[in-house]
């Protein structure tokens, strides 16, 4: 049972809040690299309730406070120069560290700008996503997870906006039972036509369509355990005495999960607050097989999450595209075949910030229970100035690899061994060294 105070503690992320301070201790996705292309790579962004401007100079990316420290004009409309951004109100110019380097309307010889600094945050690029560090002190090191170390050709990044608090968005990924229901398709498709789509291929070591496995074996046995990077979940669906389907999924603390997409690809998905009542998911698709067909995957996803803001075509306003005839005949939700829209409905329909005081959790929610415990523990550690889970130094980060995210069918009774071997085999066969 979650109290109202605890729900507030876990969900509110503005400056100075306990969860806001904790999450600022980690690198956070701020934009896709794709968004900073074109002839004016400047973009207004909102992250953790802060209004910021992200831009690219000749040599690097810069994220800084959106309002000019002179008299507050909007720097998202500033003039981009090779080595900085110039406010279009009185021409003050800021460099990549947020230092004011020119105040051209001031008298000759003025030293005013020596005292002016705006808020600016470090930005790095990883696998098609720009990550920013909004916290105090030194940023942590990146672990050697597959999604960060795979060569560019083997990853693809995309994002989408959900109009709700970040925590309920993350929690959908820690809930393995919903895939048999929310994402149920009444008919299977030819797996050969499943490229780039979730819950449409076949699991490893099987010819059964995954849509059939989820549909027909809908009462999974869920096992959860704490790991050094967060959590691992094993979701077992017993086909018969001989065979069992397993899905191994993970939480990368604090805000990402790693799940299998099919036999070859995994999805690492971050849930990043825009503010208390909105968030973006950022997904990195990582292939252990052939290089990723980025163009196809991007075109598929832009249909429901179009540029420039990657806001979905369906929302609360149109009932997420609900169609009663489709619900009777084709899908469990009646909300189309894009599973991201199903998940969006599940999160957004809980309200802007889910009221967890009214929940009645079941057995399959055990992953969510463990995650909340880890989150509250990390918030408390951070408040006591102790190092929270996954705030890593370089040495520790170099030791964290994987994690295994497997969707396969193996021998009933030897599932633990099966998924470890399936992961090792996939790595051994991959076109890059993982
Ligand atoms: S408000 Fe930006 S230079 Fe004056
Ligand atoms: Fe889902």
89 CB near ligand 1 (under 6 Å): yes
Same domain, 198 and 85: no
Give the count of beta carbons closer than 10 Å to the beta carbon of residue 434: 18
Going from the Cα of 354 to the center of ligand 2, the distance in angstroms, rounded, reads 17
Question: Is the pLDDT score of 434 beyond 80?
Answer: no
151 assigned to some structural domain: yes
9 assigned to some structural domain: no
429 CB near ligand 1 (under 6 Å): no
Same domain, 85 and 168: no
Closest among 184, 204, 335, 309 to 260, alpha carbons compared: 204
Same domain, 347 and 417: yes
Strand partners, 100: 94
Contact 288, 430 (CB under 8 A): yes
Ligand 1 atom closest to Cα of residue 92: 3
Same domain, 371 and 243: yes
Same domain, 305 and 169: yes
Residue 201 has a pLDDT of 81
Residue 271, Cα to own-chain centre: how many angstroms?
4
Residue 294 pLDDT grade (very low, low, confident, very high; cuts 50, 70, 90): very high
Same domain, 300 and 153: yes
Residue 114 has a pLDDT of 95
Ligand 1 atom closest to Cα of residue 68: 2
| Mutation probe of ligand 1 site: the residue of 53, 66, 70 with most atoms within 8 A of C-beta | 70
Domain boundary residue, one of 64, 97, 132: 132
Angle of CA points 368, 257, 310, to nearest 5°: 110
183 CB near ligand 1 (under 6 Å): no
Residue with tokens 């889910």: 354
| Mutation probe of ligand 1 site: the residue of 77, 86, 92 with most atoms within 8 A of C-beta | 92
19 assigned to some structural domain: no
Rounded average pLDDT over 214-228? 95
Residue 194 has a pLDDT of 77
Residue 203 has a pLDDT of 84
Rounded Cα distance between 193 and 391, Å, is 41
Ligand 1 atom closest to Cα of residue 71: 1
The pair of structure tokens assigned to 175 is 């809930």
Q: Whose CA is nearest to atom 3 of ligand 1?
A: 90
Same domain, 169 and 240: yes
Rounded average pLDDT over 284-291? 96
Tens of pLDDT, residues 65-111:
999 999 999 999 999 999 999 999 999 999 999 999 999 999 999 99
Whether the ω angle into residue 403 lies within 30 degrees of 0, i.e. cis, is yes
Same domain, 150 and 70: no
Q: Indicate the length of the chain as a whole number.
A: 434
232 assigned to some structural domain: yes
18 assigned to some structural domain: no
Same domain, 166 and 308: yes
Residue 402 pLDDT grade (very low, low, confident, very high; cuts 50, 70, 90): very high
CATH number reported for the structural domain that contains residue 100 in this entry: 2.102.10.10
12 assigned to some structural domain: no
Total number of domains in the chain: 2
Question: Is the pLDDT score of 5 beyond 90?
Answer: yes
Q: Which residue range forms the structural domain that includes residue 75?
A: 28-132
Helix (H) or strand (E) holding 4: helix 4-11
Same domain, 236 and 257: yes
Tens of pLDDT, residues 316-348:
999 999 999 999 999 999 999 999 999 999 999
Question: Is the pLDDT score of 246 beyond 80?
Answer: yes
Going from the Cα of 71 to the center of ligand 1, the distance in angstroms, rounded, reads 5
Beta-sheet strands, E only, within 95-175: 100-102, 120-121, 123-126, 129-132, 144-145, 155-162
Strand partners, 239: none
138 assigned to some structural domain: no
Rounded Cα distance between 348 and 388, Å, is 29
What distances in angstroms separate CA 35 from CA 40, 297, 312, 367, one per listed residue?
A: 10, 16, 16, 34
Residue 198 pLDDT grade (very low, low, confident, very high; cuts 50, 70, 90): confident
Angle of CA points 204, 208, 210, to nearest 5°: 75
**Averaged pLDDT score across all residues of the chain:** 96
Helix (H) or strand (E) holding 168: helix 166-172
15 assigned to some structural domain: no
Same domain, 187 and 328: yes
Ligand 1 atom closest to Cα of residue 90: 3
Rounded average pLDDT over 18-43? 97
The pair of structure tokens assigned to 8 is 């507030």
Same domain, 111 and 199: no
Domain boundary residue, one of 84, 106, 132: 132
Contact 97, 11 (CB under 8 A): no
Domain boundary residue, one of 101, 132, 163: 132
70 CB near ligand 1 (under 6 Å): yes
Residue 205 pLDDT grade (very low, low, confident, very high; cuts 50, 70, 90): confident
Angle between helices 366-383 and 4-11 (to 10 degrees): 70
87 CB near ligand 1 (under 6 Å): yes
pTM exceeds 0.75 for this model = yes
Question: Is the pLDDT score of 59 beyond 90?
Answer: no
Closest among 1, 5, 3, 12 to 279, alpha carbons compared: 12
Rounded Cα distance between 166 and 182, Å, is 20
71 CB near ligand 1 (under 6 Å): yes
Rounded average pLDDT over 204-230? 92
74 CB near ligand 1 (under 6 Å): no
Torsion angle, alpha carbons of 373, 378, 379, 380, to 10? 90
% residues pLDDT > 70 (the chain): 100
């Amino acid at each position: 049972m979650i109290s109202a105070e605890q729900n507030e503690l876990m969900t509110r992320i503005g400056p100075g809040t306990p969860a806001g301070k904790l999450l600022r201790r980690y690198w956070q996705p701020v934009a896709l690299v794709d968004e900073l292309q074109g002839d004016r790579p400047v973009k207004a962004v909102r992250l953790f309730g802060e209004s910021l401007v992200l831009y690219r100079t000749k040599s690097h990316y810069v994220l800084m406070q959106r309002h000019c420290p002179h008299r507050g004009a909007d720097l998202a409309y500033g003039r981009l120069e090779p080595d900085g951004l110039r406010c279009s109100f009185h021409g003050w110019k800021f460099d990549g560290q947020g230092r004011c380097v020119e105040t051209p309307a001031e008298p000759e010889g003025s030293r005013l700008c020596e005292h002016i600094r705006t808020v600016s945050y470090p930005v790095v690029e990883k696998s098609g996503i720009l990550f920013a560090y909004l916290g105090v002190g030194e940023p942590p090191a990146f672990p050697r997870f597959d999604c960060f170390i795979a060569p560019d050709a083997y990853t693809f990044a995309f994002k989408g906006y959900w109009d709700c608090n970040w925590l309920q968005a993350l929690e959908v990924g820690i809930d393995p039972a919903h895939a048999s229901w929310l994402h149920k398709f009444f008919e299977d498709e030819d797996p050969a036509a499943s490229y780039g789509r979730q819950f449409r291929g076949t699991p490893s070591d099987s010819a059964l369509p995954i849509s059939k496995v989820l549909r027909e074996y809908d009462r999974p046995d869920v096992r959860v355990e704490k790991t050094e990077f967060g959590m691992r979940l094993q979701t077992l669906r017993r086909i018969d005495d001989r065979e069992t389907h397993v899905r191994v999924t993970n939480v990368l603390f604090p805000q990402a999960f790693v799940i299998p997409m099919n036999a070859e690809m995994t999805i690492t998905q971050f849930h990043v607050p825009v503010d208390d009542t909105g968030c973006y998911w950022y997904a990195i698709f990582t292939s252990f097989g052939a290089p990723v067909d980025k163009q196809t995957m991007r075109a598929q996803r832009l249909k429901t999450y179009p540029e420039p803001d990657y806001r979905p075509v369906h929302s609360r306003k149109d009932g997420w595209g609900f169609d009663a005839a489709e619900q009777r005949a084709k899908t469990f939700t009646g909300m189309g075949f894009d599973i991201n829209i199903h998940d969006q409905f599940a999160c957004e329909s809980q309200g802007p910030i889910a009221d967890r005081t009214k929940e009645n959790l079941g057995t399959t929610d055990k992953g969510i229970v463990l995650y909340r415990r880890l989150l509250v523990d990390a918030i408390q550690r951070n408040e006591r100035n102790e190092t929270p889970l996954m705030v890593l130094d370089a040495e520790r980060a170099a030791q964290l690899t994987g994690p295994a995210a497997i969707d396969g069918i193996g021998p009933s009774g030897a599932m633990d061994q099966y998924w470890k071997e399936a992961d090792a085999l996939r790595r051994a066969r991959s076109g890059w060294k993982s």
